[in-house]
Amino acid sequence: MQKFTTLTAVAAPLPMINVDTDMIIPKQFLKTIQRTGLGRHLFDEMRYTSDGKEVADFVLNKPAYRKAEILVAGQNFGCGSSREHAPWALLDFGIRCVIAPSFADIFYNNCFKNGILPIILPQSEVDKLLDDAARGANAVISVDLEKQEIRGPDGGMIRFEVDPFRKQCLLNGWDDIGLTLRHEKSIDAFEARRKTQSPWM
């Protein structure tokens, strides 16, 4: 998993509430178990018309936000089904951080496991960041996970909270497999003892 330390990038505003996982990545794209290639279908039904043409006024289709790496969203982001394809699609598009007043629990947990930093802030702080994000190509926001700080284009600073364990996992790029492999020597030693003590197993 890619480490998350600091990120300075364009932030895209998506001030919609209750954006569910089917909106993030529609069900017809769930057939794959690959984590790549889903970015082109992110928000598919909002980004494209039924005949595949781009919807010009959707935020991620606007020239200023095509390479956005931060998404500033509304309440209850990631609700709906528990599909892990939702954070996969965000990450494959290039989104490394989502800021919102609240998230659905499963989506929130899946973000951390896939290298995305979800940040919960009071609505008043999110509103400030939405205003910053509305500046288009000038909507550059900096997120420092170590310091737990967000800085806007005018230098204003907002602090955020994050679980210490999840913070360390992101800073070090540890997903569940990475955490397990940190104990590889102990696991190998246990398996060697087990073969000696119980050779019939």
- Asked whether residue 183 carries a pLDDT value surpassing 70, the answer given is no
Cα–Cα distance for residue pair 113/13, rounded to 1 Å: 24
Per-residue pLDDT tens digits for 21-80:
999 999 998 887 777 899 999 999 999 999 999 999 999 999 999 999 999 999 999 999
Cα–Cα distance for residue pair 199/79, rounded to 1 Å: 49
Closest CA to 101 of 67, 132, 78, 131: 78
* Angle, CA 56 vertex, CA 55 and CA 57 arms, to 5°: 100
Q: Is 200 exposed, middle or buried (0-12, 13-18, 19+ CB in 10 A)?
A: exposed
Least confident range from 6-15, 116-125, 144-153, 189-198: namely 189-198
Alpha helices per DSSP H over 19-134 = 21-24, 44-47, 85-93, 105-113, 123-133
Fold of 6-197: Aconitase; domain 4 (3.20.19)
pLDDT at 19: 98
pLDDT at 75: 98
Per-residue pLDDT tens digits for 127-176:
999 999 998 878 999 999 999 999 999 889 999 999 999 999 999 999 76
Confidence of residue 199 (pLDDT cuts 50, 70, 90): confident
Cα–Cα distance for residue pair 177/184, rounded to 1 Å: 11
- Asked whether residue 84 carries a pLDDT value surpassing 70, the answer given is yes
pLDDT at 193: 74
pLDDT at 178: 66
Cα–Cα distance for residue pair 14/101, rounded to 1 Å: 12
- Choice between 196 and 42, residue whose per-residue pLDDT is larger: 42
* Residues in Cβ contact with 39 at an 8 Å cutoff, skipping those fewer than 6 apart: 89, 90, 91, 92, 93, 94
Say what the alpha-carbon torsion angle 8, 13, 19, 22 is, to the nearest 10 degrees.
-70
**Cβ 94 vs Cβ 115: under 8 Å:** no
Q: Where are the domains of the chain?
A: 6-197
